Structure 1
Amino acid sequence: MRKRELFPTNWCLFIIGPVLLELVGAFRLQPLVRRQGASSLLRRRETGREPLSLLRGAQGEGEDPQFRVGHGYDIHRLAPGLTLTIGGIDIPYEKGTEAHSDGDVVFHSLCDAIFGALSLPDIGQQFPDTDPRWKGAASCVFMEEAFRQMDERGYRIGNADVTLILERPKVKDFKPKMVDRICELLRAPHSRVNVKARTHEKVDSVGESRALECHVVVVLEKKP
């Protein structure tokens, strides 16, 4: 007579099966882990920096990031008999910007880029055109407020890249003065601020000299 098995085969498989699967899975993952570790070490040696995944892990929840990036944009119509102010500089021209304030597209874009980087309401919410206080206001007031909010949160300008788009007037000779004014208001060294200008190749309202527009990208960095 056949002896009864102490532990039937099917019960043994039921008990040790999951354990075997985990062991096999861990064994198969070992080369991948080694490859990832070697890759991270190689990147660290090549760049002198920790991989981004490690940097993210080192930053605790709720902590302010070391860097913040913001984008700003503005556009205004041009009309005869008005003052044209760009980057804090009054530029002689037959047309000026139609706006509630002075219509400085560079300063407005810079403010919005800073507010965006700080996750704050945009310039239209902070200085609404329904408020008579801002009627005809110089945009340097907005820049000073943008700097104050940036400074209070412990940030400074890491880099500011301005792209001004207009067909006329030509602003090549005015760009250094614009950079000077921006650096003055944002307490930034000249090496961190750039102003570029280009045409719109006679396309749409900007290309037909009926408007001008501006894009700005800023990087804010934590103050030491």
Structure 2
Amino acid sequence: MSQFRIGLGYDIHRFAEGRKLILGGVEIPHDKGLDGHSDADCLTHALADAVLGALGLPDIGHFFPNTDPRCEGMDSQDILRKAVEEAHSRGFRVGNCDIALIAEEPKIAPHLDAMKRALAASMQIETTEVGLKATTNEKIGDLGRSMGIAAHAVVMLEKA
């Protein structure tokens, strides 16, 4: 078995009225949140899927189906912690991760450090092992028209 495993994750959620906006485990002030069964934190979902993918496991929908009432409103940091537990149970730890968040609104830069701290804590790693950046979609497509937010994540697992 390889000393290292790499996983890729992607998630997207559309905006919805009357919901809190949670990204990377941090509540971001905004007039809309993201639509979803859990807290709809697409950044954390992409990262959890990257961890599970590196292990060759199914995505978060397998472990936390949107048909399960127990998952309604769930904190996505719990989803990420479960993915990391799966890695630990197989003899791996998160080495580092890199995440790109795509959002026209709201401004994400003021929240990046808090998000890195929350994600690092959930993965039991240092904040220096979390790469996180935000970009826009240059007003192209549905993301560019501020219809939602998407995230891409890559993670490297290493033998513990």
TM over 0.5: yes
Q: How many residues align?
A: 160
Partner residue, 1:107: 44
Distance in structure 1 (CA, Å) of the matches to 2:52 and 2:150: 19
Partner residue, 1:153: 90
Q: Say whether 1:217 aligns with 2:160.
A: no
State which of 70, 91, 108 in structure 1 corresponds to 2:28.
Answer: 91
Higher strand share: 2
Distance in structure 1 (CA, Å) of the matches to 2:14 and 2:43: 14
Structure 2 counterpart SS, 1:130: coil
TM-score (norm 2): 0.98
By how many angstroms is 1:158 displaced?
A: 1.4
Partner residue, 1:199: 136
Amino acid of the structure 2 residue aligned with 1:69: I
- For the pair shown, which has the larger CA radius of gyration, 1 or 2? 1
By how many angstroms is 1:190 displaced?
A: 1.8
Structure 2 counterpart SS, 1:99: coil
* Structure 1 ranges of 4+ moved more than 6 A: none
Percent identity, aligned pairs only, is: 44
Q: Deviations for 1:53-76, whole angstroms, at most 9, x for unmatched residues?
A: xxxxxxxxxxx2100000000000
By how many angstroms is 1:157 displaced?
A: 1.3
State which of 66, 69, 89 in structure 2 corresponds to 1:129.
Answer: 66
State which of 102, 105, 108 in structure 2 corresponds to 1:165.
Answer: 102
**Structure 2 counterparts to residues 48-127 of structure 1, below 5 A:** 64-127=1-64
Q: Say whether 1:186 aligns with 2:123.
A: yes
Q: Deviations for 1:158-209, whole angstroms, at most 9, x for unmatched residues?
A: 1100000000000101000000001101011122111100000011111111
Q: Which has the higher contact order (CA 8 A, sep 6+)?
A: 2
Structure 2 stretches lacking a partner, 5+ long: none
Higher helix share: 1
The CA RMSD over aligned residues, in Å, is: 0.8
By how many angstroms is 1:114 displaced?
A: 0.3
Distance in structure 2 (CA, Å) of the matches to 1:204 and 1:81: 24
Distance in structure 1 (CA, Å) of the matches to 2:111 and 2:45: 18
Amino acid of the structure 2 residue aligned with 1:82: R
Distance in structure 2 (CA, Å) of the matches to 1:190 and 1:102: 23
